[in-house]
Structure 1
């Protein structure tokens, strides 16, 4: 009986120690994550350009701030359509610094409702962020046929 109670006591101590170690690891991971760069949008992540004519070019600047401790590095930006081209800072964005991503949408051969997604890949958690341009493009008038 004495051996069994000693065994149960030792297993209990081991479980307490393992849980303490896991808790410390979780706290360390939480502290490290809280220091990661954070892409915080200063305005909306969606820009509604309203109604425009086919052939017009829309440009919009999305402003953001790095609210993390470490520098934010944008690795790449992709768009859902070749008609949408992004420009972004190639250098690291320091902590608490404001920067921007400029997006250009060419409406040539695009009519009707439009929703273009721009995905930003950075050293943040999560590692990608979506921006969006949306609006309506009215068709350009067709030239009259010559008789």
Structure 2
């Protein structure tokens, strides 16, 4: 009888301890969320009007360009420090001056199809004072036709 009573008490204490642990975790998550929100205050956010531009069919050796419009939708000045692509055939050009919150600007991307053939897709990677610091930028697509 004493053993049954002991197990009932121990089980009750264990169940109560588990519930209080979940309550602490929940409170901790709310604190983390609030801290994250506070740490992003004053942070710029780069938002492109479109993330993909397809040039369609182009001829091998042709140079094409497109300007991607973007807006700083954050609440701090946006400063792009670098923009790169996976190869030298795609060259991005970005504004070097800070973009104020709510303002728009353009990132020009030039693609040189010399020596290439078939479907191509090139993505731009952007480094800026955003969180995270490195973000996926827009991409271009095209099908390169061999010269006759």
TM-score normalised by L of structure 1: 0.76
Equivalent runs, 1:1-147 vs 2, <5 Å: 23-24=30-31, 26-42=33-49, 44-127=50-133, 128-141=135-148
Structure 1 unmatched ranges of 5 or more: 1-15, 142-147
Change (3 A) 1:21 1:107: closer
Q: Give the SS at the match of 2:39.
A: helix
- Structure 2 unaligned spans of 5+: 1-22
For the residues of structure 1 that align with 2:80 and 2:114, how far apart are their CA atoms? 29
Q: TM-score, normalised by structure 2?
A: 0.75
Q: How many Å separate the matches in 1 of 2:112 and 2:29?
A: 53
Equivalenced residue count is 128
Over the aligned positions, Cα root-mean-square deviation in angstroms equals 2.5
4+ runs of 1 displaced by more than 4 Å? 19-25
Question: Which residue of structure 2 lines up, in the alignment, with residue 4 of structure 1?
Answer: none
| 1:103 shift after superposition | 0.4
CA distance in 1, matches of 2:30, 2:113: 54
Counterpart contact for 2:47–2:72, Cα < 8 Å: yes
CA distance in 1, matches of 2:33, 2:61: 54
Q: Deviations over 1:4-50 (max 9, x none)?
A: xxxxxxxxxxxx99x868745641431331531111112x2111100
Give the secondary structure class of the aligned counterpart of 1:58: strand
Q: Measure the CA separation in 1 of the matches of 2:127 and 2:43.
A: 14
